[in-house]
Structure 1
Amino acid sequence: MGWETVLYSVLAGVVTAPILIKLFYPHFYTDVRFILKSLPITRLEKNIKNNVSVITRFIQQAAAKPDRTFLMYQDEVYTYREMDQWSNRVGNFFHARGLRAGETFAIFMLNEPAYLAIFLGLSKLGMTTAMLNNNLRSKSLLHCFNVSGAKNLIVGKDEALISAILEILPELQQQGVTVWVMGDQVQENGVLPLEDKIEAASDAPIPAELRSGIRMKDMIAYIYTSGTTGLPKAAKISYGRMVYASMFLALCGVTAEDVVYTALPLYHSAALCIGLAGTVETGCTWVLRKKFSASRFWDDCRKYNVTVVQYIGELLRYLCAQPKRPDDLDNQVWAAVGNGLRPEIWSEFQERFGVSNIMEFYAATEGNVGFVNLLQKFGAVGYASPLMRKLRPCNFVKYDVATGEPIRDENGWCIETKPGENGLVIAPITQRTFFDGYAGKKELSEKKVLRDVFKKGDGYFNSGDVLFMDTDYHVFFVDRLGDTFRWKGENVATTEVSQVLSEHDAIQEANVYGVKIPGYDGRAGMASLIVRPDHSLDFPALYEHVAQYLPSYAAPRFLRLQQEIDVTGTFKQKKVTAVEEGFDPHQVSDPLYFMDTSRKTYIPLDTGLYQGIVNGQVTVN
C-alpha cells in the first residue's frame, strides 16, 4: 500500500468519523464536554479511597496557606491559620472534658464564625454534630435534639435561642444533658457559659490519632429534613457524603482565587456541605452572612469583592424584586450556584445583575442522586445521557399522581419513562451510590427505599421528586411528591403542621397541603379545617397558636373551613382535588381565609383579595 493510499484512508476516516458519530451516537460530543467539565471528581474519588475527609483537607489547607483569608463575617476576618487554631481550642477543651470520637454534640446557633470553629473543632475529635434548625421551638426542637442522641448542646448568644432552650431545659436536664451558651449572660438553671473557656484552652494541634478510627461511612453530622412522618428527620451526613458535596464548587469552576458569598443557614446542607466544605476543598475565601438581606446583598458583594454567590430559588427572586439601582451591574460575580430557580427569574437575574453563569443543581440532603447544570442549559438542573447514567446510575420511572407511588407493570417491575416525559427519580443503593438514611428507627429510612424495582432483591432510593428529561437528555425539575412541599426554601411536612393545628382547642381535624401562587417559588401552605361542633374559631388566637408552635415558613397562609374531609378507603386524607382547587373562591364554595401578618389574624378571602394575590398586588409573606 503506497503512502498516497494511506493518506487518502486517513483523510476519509477524518471526514466520515464525525458523520458516523452524529448518525449512531448523536450525543457523543455533549458527553465529552460534560466529562471534561467533570474532571475535578477524580480528586473526590481519590479522597474517598484514601480516607481523606473534609476535616483533613481543612488541616492541609491551613498548613499550606495559613495566611490566606478563610472567612469574612461582618467586619471580622479570619485566616486559615486563625480558624485552625480557634477550632483546636474548641476540640482541646471538650477533649479535656472527656468527649471522644463517635459521640454526638448538638449546635443551636445562628450563622457566625464561632459556629464554624465549633463544628471544625468537634469534627477534629471525630464527633458527630447535630445541626439544629434555629427556627424550631417547643416539641419539635426537643424531638430533634432527642433523636440525635446528643448529651451536650451549645446555644448561641441570641436571646430568642436562649429562651427557646430554657423552655425545654427541664426535659433536657432530666436526661442528663449539659447545656452550654456562647456568652456569660446565662449562668442560672445549670446553663454553662462557654466562650471564656474556649478562649483559655490550648490551640495546639489536635492529635490525628483521636479520629484515626473514623472512616467515610461514619457520620460527621445530622442535618434535619422534613418528611412524611410528622416531625423533622435527622438525615445522616457521612464523611463520604460530605466529600462528595465538597466537590460541587470545584465542578462549577471555583478556584482558590474566588470569594464565595453565603447567606443561607449553616443548619442546611447547602451552606454546610457545599459552602463550607466546598470552600475547604478549593481553598478559596468564604463570606458568611448572619441572615439573608435582599437590600444589602449586592452591597456585601461589592464590600467583600465577591465572585461567586450561593442561592436557593427564592433568594434570587427576592433580589429581582428589589427596586432597580444604577449600580446593579457593579459587581464581580461571575457565577451563582444553587437550586430551585424558576426560568423567568433565571434570565431576569442574569440580565439585571450581569452574572454570566447559573450553576443550577438538583440534590437532596439524604439522597444518592444528583445533577448539576455544567453545560449551562437554560432552565436545566443537569444532564443525564445513557452514558452519564451508566457512570452515575439513576432512573426515571412512571408514577401515580394521586399516591406518589411508582406504577408497576404486570410483573411488578417499575416502568422507565422515555425522554420527553416526566418521571419519578430513583437511584440504586450501592457502595458507590449509598443511602445513609436517618437517625432513629430503621423504618424511617426504609420508607425512602423502593424494593424489587427492576429485579428481585434490588433496592432504590426514592427521591420523591418528579423531573423531566428532554430528548437531548437535559434534566429539568418539575415538582415534589408526597406529603412534603417547599416554601421559602424550606421543606414543610404537612403532617407536622396538621399535628400542631389539631392541638388547637377548636380544631377537630386538619388536612394540610401546598398550593401554587403565581410569581412564587414552591407552594404556600394551606389547611382544610374541621371545627369542633361545640366550638367557634377565634382567628387571632389561631394565628397566635400557629406563630408559637410552627416555624414561620411552615405556617399555613390559607385556610379552608369544611364540614368533612374526604378520605381514601384506607382513611388517608385526599389532597389531589384540594390542591387543584387551591385558594380560588371561584372553585371553592367553602369559606376561605388568608393569613394577615400585619393584623396577626386570618381574614376572609373573597374574590377581590384573591385577584390581588394572584396579580401580585398583595404579598404573601
Structure 2
Amino acid sequence: MSRRPSDAITWGMMLRKLPTIARAVPRIVKGMKLANVQDPTQPCGLGWCFEQATQRNPQGPALLCGDTVLSYAQVNEQANRIARYLLTQGVAKGDCVAIFIENRPQLLVTVLAVAKVGAVSAMINTAQTGDALVHSLALVTPVAVVVGDERVAAFDDVRARIGLSHGRTWWVADQENVPAPSGFVDLMRASEQYPGDNPASSQHVFFDDPCFYLYTSGTTGLPKAGVFRHGRWMRTSTSFGLIALDMQPEDIVYCTLPLYHATGLCVCWGAAICGASGFAMRRKFSASQFWSDVRRYQATTLGYVGELCRYLVDQPASASDREHRVTKMIGNGLRPGAWAAFKTRFGVDHICELYAASDGNIGFTNILNFDNTVGFSLMAWALVRYDHDSGAPLRNLQGRMQKVPRGEPGLLLARIDDKAPLDGYTDPTKTEKIIYRDVFVPGDRYFNTGDLLRNIGFGHGQFVDRLGDTYRWKGENVSTTEVENVLLQHPQIAEAVAYGVEINGTNGRAGMAAITPAESLATLDFSELLRFLQCKLPAYAVPLFLRIKVKMDTTGTFKYQKTRLKAEAFDPCLTGDEPIYAWLPDSSTYVRVDRQLSTGIQGGQYRY
C-alpha cells in the first residue's frame, strides 16, 4: 500500500484540529487516571467495571440480540448467580475456564461471571475442531469448560482427549425448554437459585490478575494463548470508551465481530461498559441485514474490521444508506481505498481506526479523526529497518537497530517498561521469542509486533502490512505453518509452502500455497483435496490458490523463497510453466487459472 501525499498530516491539519483537541483534553486526563491503575490492592477489571456501569445505568440496555434486551441490572444479577455457583463448585481465583460459545448474550454473561470469581476465561475460537481444539484447551489446562449447544458436536468429538469430568463440563442452551445433552450440566439452570447480589470475590481482583486467554496464530502452526490481564482491560475499555469515543449511557454499540477476539470482546464491549452503554450483537455478520439491525437497535457506534466495511460498500446503494444514528465507529483494517467511500456513502463522522495486538503491549487510536491512520500511541515505539526476506530487524556494526525516516515503512517495535508491560503468553519460552533486547541502548527491551507501519506525521501511524508466518484474511489471522502442516498430511503432497496474496478490492491477503505433488499432477484429485482441506482447516484458512511446482526454490540456508512467490501470486504470466489453480466462490474444486480468469479475479468478477 503506497502512501499518497494526502495521507501526510501537516501543521495546517493539526491547527484545524485544535478545537477537537481542546474538547478532548479533560476526558484524556480523566481517562489516563482511570486507565493506569497503580495500587496493587485497588479492585479493578471487567467485573468491577461492569458493577460500576450497573450502578450508573441499572435499567439501561446492556446486551441486545434479536428480540432479547437485557438491562445492566439483569446481566449483573445473572452473572452474580453463575459466579456464586462456580465458587461452590470449587472454581477459584486464577483457575481457567474454557468458553466455547458463539456470539450471543449468554457468552458475555458467562465471561462476566468467570471474571467476578477471579478466574480466567479461555476464549476458544468457535471455528476450531479436532486437533486444533484439543491443542487450544491443552495450552491452558482448564478446570472446566462451558459449551454452547451449537458447539456440542465439535466438543463431543474431542471430549475423550480433554480429560474433564462431566460435572465440570457445563452447557448453555441455545433455545428455551431444551434439556442438557448427556454428559453436560445445564449452567443456567444449576445457578438460577443462587443470590443475585455482587459476590465479594469481584472486589479481590487486581490489575495484575489474568482476565482472558486470547489465542493468536503461532509460528508452529497451532495457536498460542496470550494473557490479557485486568489492568489491561482497564486501559483498553477506558482508552476506547472514554478517551477515543466518549461513550455515554444513551449510546449503543453494534458489533458482529467474533467475541473470541480482542477487538470485539475487549475494545467494543469494553468501550460499551466504560460508558454504561448498550452492546448489540449478532451471531454472525450479515451484509444484507447490517443496516436493518443498526436501525432496529438504534445504534450510535459500530465495531468493524476492514473486510466488514468492504462488504457493506459492495452492497447495492440504497436511499436509506444514511438513515441511522451512527456517528462513530471503532475497529481496525480499514484500507485507504475504502475509507473515503465508506465515510461518504454512509455518513459516519468519526472513524476511530485502531492498531493493537492481543498479545502485545501497545495500542494506537485515531482520536483526532484524521483519515487513513491508526492514530497515535502514548506508549514508546519505533519503526526500524528490517530484512525483506526474513522479516527480522537489521542491526548496525554496533549491534543497534536503525530507525527508518518518516514516511518509510518500518517494523514496529514497542518498548517494554512499567507503563507498557508485556503480558505475553502462557508459555514463557514463546514470550521470550517476541522480545528484542539492547535495541537502541544497552538493557532496553522491545516487543516485536511483526507488523509494518509508517509514520505519516505528528506521531500518527499508518498500517502497511503483516510480516512473518501469519497473514490476515476474513478478519482472522492465518498461520502459514498450520496450513503447510495440513497440506503435508495429504498423501499426494510432498512439499508445501503457504503464504498470503493480495486480490484487488479485498482486505487482507488470500491464502495461496505452492505444492509439489508426491507423484505427478495427474494423480492429484483437486475436488478430493479441497474436501480434505475443508475438513482439516477453518474455512478462512483453506487456500484459495494453488501453485504446482516440480521442485521448491530455496535460499542458501534452505529457506523457501516466499518473497518471490508472494510477488508472482496467481498471475500465470509470471509463473511460467508452473500451473496455477483457484477455488472460485460457490464451487467445489480447484480450476486452472489462465490469463482471462486471473484478470477476472483481480477485476472483481468473483466475490471473495
Structure 2 length-normalised TM:
0.92
Equivalent-residue separation in structure 2 for 1:473 and 1:236 (angstroms): 28
Max Rg structure: 1
Task: Trace 1:86-97 onto structure 2 (pairs within 5 A).
Answer: 86-97=78-89
Greater shift, 542-551 or 566-575, is seen at: 566-575
Determine whether 1:394 maps to 2:386: no
2:53 touches 2:72 (CA, 8 Å); kept in 1?
yes
For 2:412, give the aligned amino acid: V
Task: Trace 1:23-422 onto structure 2 (pairs within 5 A).
Answer: 38-45=28-35, 47-49=37-39, 50-158=42-150, 161-173=151-163, 178-183=168-173, 184-188=178-182, 190-199=183-192, 201-208=193-200, 210-211=201-202, 213-247=204-238, 248-250=240-242, 251-383=244-376, 391-422=378-409
1:101 touches 1:211 (CA, 8 Å); kept in 2?
no
Q: Secondary structure at the match of 1:70?
A: strand
Equivalent-residue separation in structure 2 for 1:88 and 1:472 (angstroms): 46
Q: Which residue of 1 aligns with 2:5?
A: none
Greater shift, 488-497 or 595-604, is seen at: 595-604
Question: CA separation of 1:541/1:597 partners in 2, compared to 1, >3 Å: closer, same or farther?
Answer: farther
Greater shift, 391-400 or 551-560, is seen at: 391-400
Q: Kindly state the Cα deviation for residue 166 of structure 1 after the two structures are TM-superposed.
A: 1.1
Q: Describe the superposition over 1:27-86 as per-residue Cα deviations: whole angstroms up to 9, x where unpaired.
A: 996996575673342243454544422311211222333211111111011111100111
Q: Kindly state the Cα deviation for residue 392 of structure 1 after the two structures are TM-superposed.
A: 2.2
For 2:441, give the aligned amino acid: K
Q: Which residue of 1 aligns with 2:579?
A: 591
Equivalent-residue separation in structure 2 for 1:561 and 1:185 (angstroms): 51
Identity, in percent, stands at 36
Q: Which residue of 2 aligns with 1:550?
A: 537
Equivalent-residue separation in structure 2 for 1:302 and 1:207 (angstroms): 37
2:78 touches 2:109 (CA, 8 Å); kept in 1?
yes
For 1:515, give the aligned amino acid: V
Equivalent-residue separation in structure 1 for 2:363 and 2:481 (angstroms): 27
For 2:45, give the aligned amino acid: S
Q: Describe the superposition over 1:136-156 as per-residue Cα deviations: whole angstroms up to 9, x where unpaired.
A: 111011100110110211111
Match of 2:594 among 578, 599, 606: 606
Q: Describe the superposition over 1:507-541 as per-residue Cα deviations: whole angstroms up to 9, x where unpaired.
A: 11110000011111110000000111278211111
Q: Describe the superposition over 1:529-564 as per-residue Cα deviations: whole angstroms up to 9, x where unpaired.
A: 011127821111111111111111111000001111
For 2:97, give the aligned amino acid: F
Equivalent-residue separation in structure 2 for 1:32 and 1:86 (angstroms): 40
For 1:430, give the aligned amino acid: D
Equivalent-residue separation in structure 2 for 1:582 and 1:40 (angstroms): 49
CA RMSD, aligned part only? Answer: 2.3
Q: Which residue of 2 aligns with 1:561?
A: 548
Equivalent-residue separation in structure 2 for 1:260 and 1:460 (angstroms): 34
Determine whether 1:580 maps to 2:564: no
Alignment gaps of 5+ in structure 2 = 1-10
2:248 touches 2:275 (CA, 8 Å); kept in 1?
yes
For 2:603, give the aligned amino acid: N
Equivalent-residue separation in structure 1 for 2:444 and 2:419 (angstroms): 15
Q: Which residue of 2 aligns with 1:424?
A: 411
Question: CA separation of 1:187/1:471 partners in 2, compared to 1, >3 Å: closer, same or farther?
Answer: closer
Q: Secondary structure at the match of 2:29?
A: coil
Equivalent-residue separation in structure 2 for 1:286 and 1:187 (angstroms): 30
Q: Which residue of 2 aligns with 1:10?
A: none
1:486 touches 1:523 (CA, 8 Å); kept in 2?
yes
Q: Kindly state the Cα deviation for residue 204 of structure 1 after the two structures are TM-superposed.
A: 3.0
Equivalent-residue separation in structure 2 for 1:412 and 1:41 (angstroms): 39
Determine whether 1:468 maps to 2:458: no
Q: Kindly state the Cα deviation for residue 619 of structure 1 after the two structures are TM-superposed.
A: 2.2
Determine whether 1:484 maps to 2:484: no
Task: Trace 1:531-542 onto structure 2 (pairs within 5 A).
Answer: 531-533=517-519, 536-542=523-529
Q: Describe the superposition over 1:203-246 as per-residue Cα deviations: whole angstroms up to 9, x where unpaired.
A: 332432x3555321221101111132210111110111111110
Q: Which residue of 2 aligns with 1:6?
A: none
2:585 touches 2:606 (CA, 8 Å); kept in 1?
no
Q: Secondary structure at the match of 1:39?
A: helix
For 1:603, give the aligned amino acid: V
1:260 touches 1:285 (CA, 8 Å); kept in 2?
yes
Question: CA separation of 1:32/1:618 partners in 2, compared to 1, >3 Å: closer, same or farther?
Answer: closer
Equivalent-residue separation in structure 1 for 2:319 and 2:154 (angstroms): 43
Q: Secondary structure at the match of 1:437?
A: coil
Structure 1 length-normalised TM:
0.90
Q: Kindly state the Cα deviation for residue 117 of structure 1 after the two structures are TM-superposed.
A: 1.1
Equivalent-residue separation in structure 1 for 2:558 and 2:284 (angstroms): 42
Equivalent-residue separation in structure 2 for 1:370 and 1:132 (angstroms): 23
For 2:587, give the aligned amino acid: R
Equivalent-residue separation in structure 1 for 2:209 and 2:511 (angstroms): 36
2:167 touches 2:185 (CA, 8 Å); kept in 1?
no
2:47 touches 2:202 (CA, 8 Å); kept in 1?
no
1:397 touches 1:406 (CA, 8 Å); kept in 2?
yes
Q: Describe the superposition over 1:129-186 as per-residue Cα deviations: whole angstroms up to 9, x where unpaired.
A: 000000111101110011011021111121xx21111110111237899322213555
Equivalent-residue separation in structure 1 for 2:235 and 2:26 (angstroms): 18
For 1:407, give the aligned amino acid: L
Equivalent-residue separation in structure 2 for 1:108 and 1:377 (angstroms): 38
Equivalent-residue separation in structure 2 for 1:472 and 1:613 (angstroms): 38
1:151 touches 1:176 (CA, 8 Å); kept in 2?
no
Q: Kindly state the Cα deviation for residue 418 of structure 1 after the two structures are TM-superposed.
A: 2.1
Q: Describe the superposition over 1:477-507 as per-residue Cα deviations: whole angstroms up to 9, x where unpaired.
A: 1011111111111111100111111111111
Equivalent-residue separation in structure 1 for 2:57 and 2:16 (angstroms): 42
Determine whether 1:450 maps to 2:450: no
Question: CA separation of 1:29/1:279 partners in 2, compared to 1, >3 Å: closer, same or farther?
Answer: closer
Q: Kindly state the Cα deviation for residue 195 of structure 1 after the two structures are TM-superposed.
A: 3.3
1:125 touches 1:206 (CA, 8 Å); kept in 2?
no
Q: Kindly state the Cα deviation for residue 296 of structure 1 after the two structures are TM-superposed.
A: 0.7
Q: Secondary structure at the match of 1:380?
A: coil
2:545 touches 2:570 (CA, 8 Å); kept in 1?
yes
Greater shift, 519-528 or 171-180, is seen at: 171-180
